[in-house]
Amino acid sequence: MRMRELEKRTGVGRETIRYYIREGLLPEPDRASRNSASYNDDHVARLKAIKRLQDERFLPLAVIKTLLDAEDGERWLAPAAFPQLDSMLRARLDADAARIPVDTVVAGLGHSREEIAELVESGFIDVDAQDTVTARDAAILRVLDELRETGFTDSHNFRDGMMPIYNDFVEWVTAQEMRFFFEHTAGRVDEAEALDMAERGIASINELLSLMRTRAILRKLEVRRRVANDNA
C-alpha cells in the first residue's frame, strides 16, 4: 500500500510515520525507487500498537520501542528447538497444583465476579471453560486481596494504575529472558538439560528480582531521607 492508504488505515500522519521510521519504531518500506515506497500490514499493526501504548499507557517512545522490539524478538519461538519444553516445564512447575473453581475463590477472598472478569479481560489471570483458575492465578488474586486489606491502595486504583505497569514490565523482561535462553541453549544442550536449566533458572531469577527490588526501594528511601535532611 502507499503512504496515503497507510495514513487512512491508521489515522497517523505521514510526517509522524517518517519520524517513526527514522527512529527505528517502524521498519523501512519496500522501495521500487527513491520516490516510491510500499507499506504492508506489519506497518499498520505496528502503528496501531504505538498508538495504543501512547493512549492507554502514556509511555514515551523509547519505552514503546523497547516493548515492540521485544515482541519482534519472539519470532525465534517458531523454530522446533525444544518442542516439548513448554509442556514438560508446566508439568514440573504445576505438578501438584489442581485448578480451583472461581466460586471457591470468590467465597474465600474479597473479589467479586465483576472484578475477576475485569482481571481476565486485562490479561492478568485466565478462567477456563469449566470456570476454574490455576493455583498460580488464585495466588495472584490472594495477593491482590492482601494488598487491599493492608490499605496499600484500593483495588480499583491499583488495577488501573500499578498493575498495567507490572504487566508491561513482566511481558518485556520475560521476552528478553526467553530470547536469551533459547539463543544460548538451542543446539548446545539437549531438551532434558534445557528443562533442568529453565526450572532452576525461574526460581533463581524470581529470588534475584525480589532481592534487587527490595534493595532498590531501600536505597531510594535512603536518598529521600538524605534530601529531606539536607533541605531541613
| C-alpha cell at position 97 | 497444583
Residues 147/141, Cβ–Cβ less than 8 Å: no
* 136 vs 125: CA distance, rounded Å: 9
* pLDDT recorded at residue 178: 85
Q: Would the pLDDT of 175 be above 70?
A: yes
Is the pLDDT at 209 greater than 90? The verdict is: yes
Q: Which amino acid is at 147?
A: L
For 1-59, CATH number?
A: 1.10.1660.10
Which phi and psi (to 5°) does residue 188 adopt?
-115, -30
74 pLDDT more than 60: no
Can you give the pLDDT at residue 221? 95
Which pLDDT belongs to residue 204?
97
Q: Average pLDDT, stretch 166-180?
A: 84
Whether residue 79 has pLDDT greater than 60: no
**pLDDT attached to residue 54:** 83
More confident residue, 230 or 138: 138
End-to-end CA distance of the chain: 62
- Bridge-based pairing of strands 100-101 and 36-38 is unpaired
Q: Which residue in 187, 111, 124, 197 sits closest to 155, CA to CA?
A: 111
Q: Quick check: 21 pLDDT over 90? A: yes
Task: List alpha helices for 102-190, DSSP H.
Answer: 102-108, 113-121, 135-149, 155-185
- The total number of residues shown for the chain amounts to 232
pLDDT in tens, 27-71: 899 987 777 899 998 898 889 888 887 887 677 888 788 777 766
| pTM exceeds 0.85, yes or no | no
Quick: pLDDT tens for 179-198: 788 877 876 788 899 999 99
Instruction: Write out pLDDT tens, residues 118-157.
Output: 888 888 899 999 999 999 999 999 998 888 888 776 656 6
Q: pLDDT at position 73, please? A: 54
Long-range contacts of residues 132-138, Cβ cutoff 8 Å, at least 24 apart: 132/99, 132/100, 132/101, 132/102, 133/99, 133/100, 133/102, 133/105, 134/94, 134/97, 134/99, 134/100, 135/94, 135/97, 135/98, 135/99, 135/100, 136/94, 136/97, 138/100, 138/105
Q: What mean pLDDT is reported for the chain? A: 85
Q: For residue 133, report the phi and psi dihedrals to the nearest 5 degrees.
A: -125, 160
